[in-house]
Amino acid sequence: MEKKSTTSEKSTSSRRDFVKAAGVTAAGFMIVPRHVLGGKGFTAPSDRLTVAGVGVGGKGTSDLASFAKSGKADIAYLCDVDDRRAATSIANYPKAKYYKDFREMFEKESKNFDAVSVSTPDHTHAVVAMAAMQLGKHVYVQKPMTHDIYEARKLTEAAAKYKVVTQMGNQGSSGDGVRTLHEWYDAGIIGDVDTVYIWTNRPIWPQGIPWPSEKPPVPKELDWDLWLGTAPKKDYVENLIPGSWRGWWDYGTGALGDLGCHLMEAPFRVLGLKYATDMQASVGSVFTAFGKRGIFPDSCPPSSHATLTFPKTAKTKGPVTMHWMDGGIKPERPEELGPNELFGDGNSGILFVGSKGKMMASEYAANPRLLPLTKMQEVKVKQKFARVPGSADGHYAQWVEGCIAGYGKMELSSPFELAGPLTEAILGANLAIRGADMPKAREDGKGFTYPGSNMKMLWDAQNMKVTNFDEVNQFVRRNYREGWSLGV
């Protein structure tokens, strides 16, 4: 008797097969001039973007809605491993064809769409985006761009190789706030910056906990194997979906992955930062009994403080030290800030420390302020940088317009050439955090030490490796589960 193929088996066609099958995507396509179709306000087919969404629940729902709101994007294909999460998008776009496996969708439909939006959990960002770029599709990828440093480097290279329009989903990079900060700095208002503090109240999901022991049945609407994707095979557990996967290293990248791209982008842009030279961290610990520290290697720690050093840039007089704090930890309030004045936005913030003064902003680099706040009435700087229409909300329409214009024809706020190094820095800080939380058994068998918490990890950016603490290099590039590949 012939064995019946499973859904999983059918969907494992190699990327080589579906890229080859779609290799002549544009053959025979004719662009109809706008004047032939006519009509005031009519958008010609050549001026519209056909989008396929992968991960269309939660953040994916709002991402697709924002593309559609641009008035120039058609949401034509939807893909999600969980029918429950996809329900809203399916209702919003009743004409869109729905798939569970992005590989099947790409194989069957790649001739019919122009661009892909990726809003899956972090651990599958890279494989979806790479497959799309290899098909010549423009890509929008939610933050962080990737789960691993190696993935970020390869996606950055691929964007240039395949000449596709890319954008990471850190909307603040399109905001007015970061451009105002940039103008203040370039005007010399706060002098030379050598230190930046960044903080957040995240995580707002459980961290520093053991992996659940219960093994409930998999919901019928969820393809658990596809959800796991590149990650190791594990039994289904509850409370990962929709958002608590962020606190587990196999799938998420902790508080840094969630908000780092929104908070670190401003100093990257303003100061011209790229690759760090070293990083160090301390982490919050959980004690399960008196004197007994819990060891939960699968879970991110409940709080952390990571420090990165960046070399001198064309915008600074020397190295820049960047402090990242999460879990409710904050830096000391600047003396120029009044005792009752809001520090950051109350939950998150960015503080630039310059030789002549300080400037501060909220999450997304919104609400930029000079310190003391009285300076806001005194300082007037001429606008130097063009604003994105719609500010942070215009981040989506900017990508749509960029895709329609074509590769290299329009400046975007967070293309992979900028988002890649930013993501690498964020994930580099995570290397230090994971290293600080890594136990080593004592030789006498009595407990553990944490050697990574007491060192500065030296980073070789060119070769993507820590040179003095090899234990963390395993996290630079994960080993994907069998059947999954980045295709490079």
The answer, yes or no, to whether residue 4 has pLDDT greater than 90, is no
pLDDT in tens, 271-294: 999 999 999 999 999 999 999 999
Phi, psi of 138 (to 5 degrees): -70, 150
The secondary structure of residue 366, as a DSSP letter, is -
pLDDT, average across residues 345-359: 97
Residue linked to tokens 């691993």: 148
Q: How confident is the model at residue 209 (pLDDT cuts 50, 70, 90)?
A: very high
The secondary structure of residue 465, as a DSSP letter, is E
Q: Are 298 and 249 in contact, with CB atoms under 8 Å apart?
A: yes
Burial per residue of 17-36, b for 16 or more beta-carbon CB atoms within 10 angstroms, e otherwise = ebbebbeeeeeeeeeeeeee
DSSP letters spanning 288-347: EETTEE---TTB--S-EEEEEEE---TT-SS-EEEEEEETT--PPPPTTS-TTS-STTSS
pLDDT, average across residues 185-212: 97
**pLDDT of the residue at 45:** 55
Find the length of the chain: 488
Q: In sequence order, what are the beta bridge partners of 54? A: 79, 118
Determine what percent of the chain falls in helix, strand and coil, rounding each to the nearest 5.
35, 20, 45
Q: Among 49, 21, 48, 52, which Cα is nearest to 34's?
A: 48
Q: How far is Cα 25 from Cα 112, in angstroms, rounded to an integer?
A: 8
**pLDDT of the residue at 34:** 35
pLDDT mean across residues, the chain: 92
**pLDDT of the residue at 40:** 44
Among the residue ranges 7-11, 227-231, 257-261, the one predicted with the least confidence is 7-11
**pLDDT of the residue at 284:** 97
pLDDT, average across residues 85-103: 98
pLDDT in tens, 164-173: 999 999 999 9
**pLDDT of the residue at 46:** 73
SS3 state of residue 8: helix
Phi, psi of 117 (to 5 degrees): -105, 125
Q: Tell me how crowded residue 254 is: count the other CB atoms within 10 A of its CB.
A: 28
Q: How far is CA 483 from CA 166, 205, 397, 472, 487, in A?
A: 26, 30, 35, 25, 11
**pLDDT of the residue at 446:** 86
The answer, yes or no, to whether residue 29 has pLDDT greater than 90, is no
**pLDDT of the residue at 33:** 35
pLDDT in tens, 102-127: 999 999 999 999 999 999 999 999 99
Q: Among 168, 171, 189, 191, which Cα is nearest to 180's?
A: 189
Q: How far is Cα 471 from Cα 466, in angstroms, rounded to an integer?
A: 9
The answer, yes or no, to whether residue 97 has pLDDT greater than 90, is yes
pLDDT in tens, 41-70: 434 457 999 999 999 999 999 999 999 999
**pLDDT of the residue at 39:** 44
Count helices and strands in the chain by DSSP H and E runs: 15, 19
SS3 state of residue 47: helix
Q: How far is Cα 225 from Cα 425, in angstroms, rounded to an integer?
A: 31
Q: Strand order of the sheet with strand 457-460?
A: 369-371, 358-361, 349-354, 193-199, 320-326, 304-310, 278-283, 457-460, 465-466
% of the chain at pLDDT higher than 70: 91
pLDDT in tens, 396-427: 999 999 999 999 999 999 999 999 999 999 99
305 contact partners, CB below 8 Å, separation of at least 6: 281, 282, 283, 323, 324, 325, 329
pLDDT in tens, 424-452: 999 999 999 999 999 999 999 888 999 99
pLDDT in tens, 452-474: 999 999 999 999 999 999 999 99
The residue among 272 and 32 whose pLDDT is bigger is 272
Q: In sequence order, what are the beta bridge partners of 278? A: 309, 458
